[in-house]
Structure 1
């Protein structure tokens, strides 16, 4: 347990240092969500520390994802009137984005002839980690593999999201929030709060709604694919 706690402490130190670096030089490739896992992976390989040892301490950070996700609901009260006014547009956009994300993942995976377990692990990649891992387990995937896909999706979303918003001239705070929350879950929501509090709030509600849509739709897509 002691080595695991040391790994946990190292993880926190690496994250704090990378976040400080990002504040000084706010570049996508210096994002703590990219620098921290890369540094840890390289460190584990170099020191030959087994993943099980690291996970014995690092798992506590995973447990914190669930209350952290719920905490996103706090700003919703502040902008409740705005959410109520644009609820139909938000729900329609998130539903469309969620379905497209799942179907595109499944079709691409089938086209690449991936095995069924990998396909089911890939389908819930566009929702926040705790929900994605639960969905993956429910539909027969491997939650740990799903978590990797979720991280990759989030990093890709915060990298391409600003470019997409600029290319298509998406200036509405509502539209930006839906864009980041639906496509890049918690990672995108963190990025959305950099634009404005309202954008981040819309992103957080989009992320939660996307998780609920995926929870319902993922088993149906699996049924259509393999039966």
Structure 2
């Protein structure tokens, strides 16, 4: 069990710094809306990850093959992500009212942020493929023992969450240094990132099937791990 925990912690840390839409939205939420708002968003992301892990664990390699043969899932998720990015980019931003003592802003809806984090992660079918890949690669090393799976992935998610807390705290330090104009630029940059990530998913959906062959992908991963 100790070896499983030691192996899971670096993976959780690495996962927290994977560059994608969730990474940028988490930072943006922390900078603009504060720690608790970013925490609510991050919890939604983690719940989606836990759901993906459960789906991946109780499925099989056949599910990954089916996903690779359904490029429409990538196109669908990518289109939603890109549309969301366009909305953020072109949305007319309201300049926040600056008082001499504090920044006046609307009350934060933590439930909506939780849901936003969940769905932003859930619509990215690539995340499910990622967790399937991790399970296929590490499963034999865990002897396919359910208890070891729980310890390994629980530790991995825990390390991911703790690392995210540090990211949120660091990003929050930038809040007092941002002017209303800078905040608008940050939001537009975020919208552009989401459009790029959505476009990448759409392109994956139009790639030839042999480019999405899971057998070849995970054979390469296993070669690197041995």
TM-score surpassing 0.5?
no
- The higher relative CO (CA closer than 8 Å, separation ≥ 6) is in 2
TM-score, length basis structure 1? 0.30
Largest Rg, 1 or 2: 2
